[in-house]
A and B are shown apart, each in its own frame.
Chain A
């Protein structure tokens, strides 16, 4: 079993819709969680960190469910510019490495 797994999608949604997707992790000792955005053939860019209590950044909301070992990302009022691949990343405390999921592709259509 992979350490971090994501539904590859694609999620095709109209502008203005809400889209949400999860990322599951296998190691219960995981402590740090992040969402990255990657545009085609570009580098991954940090979208947001995920905190235990959940956090919001504009139209983006991230949640952590430790009991079920997953994090989620919700995008409200989708824009065409939200079309991208979203990668989740997880690490254990004091671990040198981040483990990345393979990404969830979101396509927002006009």
Chain B
């Protein structure tokens, strides 16, 4: 049982490049989330999804887009990467009123 799997684990980008982070969960969870975590800032919610085909903005959505075409996958896209998006990105999933389960993170550096 893999739980929540994020790919890639590490990536270095140049400013202006684009990329997609993939999150996959095998627990049949309805809700999925993308967070970023910066030193001293705690977890900040970027976007989330309450079901297949639906997405919503979190507290820091600018510069990111998401898609949830399949229930088990939640993709986070950076269309034009900026140095301010250097961070650790965590995906999570859950059922209603249950705790969240996190992936092990993607460390993204933008030069």
Contact surface of A with B, Cβ cutoff 8 Å? 31-32, 34, 36, 41-46, 49, 87, 89, 91, 93-94, 96-98, 100-103
Q: Are B99 and A34 in contact (CB under 8 A)?
A: yes
Q: Which residue of B lies closest to A98 (CB)?
A: B100
List A contacts of B42 (CB < 8 A).
Answer: 87, 100-103
Q: Decide if B74 is an interface residue (CB 8 Å cutoff).
A: no
Q: Are B43 and A44 in contact (CB under 8 A)?
A: yes
A-B contact count (CB 8 A): 51
List A contacts of B105 (CB < 8 A).
Answer: 41-43
Chain B binding site: helix, strand, loop or mixed by DSSP? Answer: strand
Q: Are A45 and B97 in contact (CB under 8 A)?
A: no
A106 to chain B, nearest CB (A): 16
* A44-B50 CB under 8 A given contacts A96-B31, A100-B42: no
List B contacts of A97 (CB < 8 A).
Answer: 33, 45, 48, 58
| 8 closest A-B pairs by CB | A102-B42, A43-B102, A100-B43, A34-B99, A46-B99, A43-B104, A96-B50, A32-B97
List B contacts of A91 (CB < 8 A).
Answer: 97
Contact mask B29-49 → A, CB, 8 Å, 1/0?
A: 001010000001111010010
* A44-B102 CB under 8 A given contacts A87-B43, A93-B97: yes
Q: Are A98 and B94 in contact (CB under 8 A)?
A: yes
